[in-house]
Amino acid sequence: MDAKELKNQADNANPSYKEGPVAATIEKYTAKLPSDLYLWAALGSMGVSATLKILKKDEEALFVGQWAPSFLLLGLYNKLVKMEGFEKDK
């Protein structure tokens, strides 16, 4: 298979640009959650991390503190789903 043929297959793989069944199901449920829930979860994890650090539980503080970026990314995904994904198709 040459590069031109491979590009043609890739261009025609999903012509309607629809999500697969797994992503559609995730979007169906995550679109119901308010976006600020993830912001509060991130702030909460930073607060718990700071508290653990003060209590000299350094490893636990680091572990919990690393949740904040994940919560923020999930919040960003949730917002994008609401703007461009699940609700747009309705």
Cα(70)–Cα(14) distance, integer angstroms: 29
DSSP state of 12: T
Cα(67)–Cα(89) distance, integer angstroms: 31
pLDDT, tens digit only, all 90 positions of the chain: 677 787 777 777 666 666 677 877 877 777 788 888 999 999 999 999 999 999 999 999 999 999 999 999 989 888 887 777 654 554
Answer positive or negative: Cα dihedral of 19, 81, 8, 6: negative
Nearest-CA neighbor of 23 among 66, 81, 84?
81
- Report pLDDT for 55: 97
pTM: 0.66
What are the domain boundaries of the chain?
35-90
Cα(87)–Cα(84) distance, integer angstroms: 7
For residue 77, what are the contacts with CB-CB under 8 A and spacing of at least 6?
30
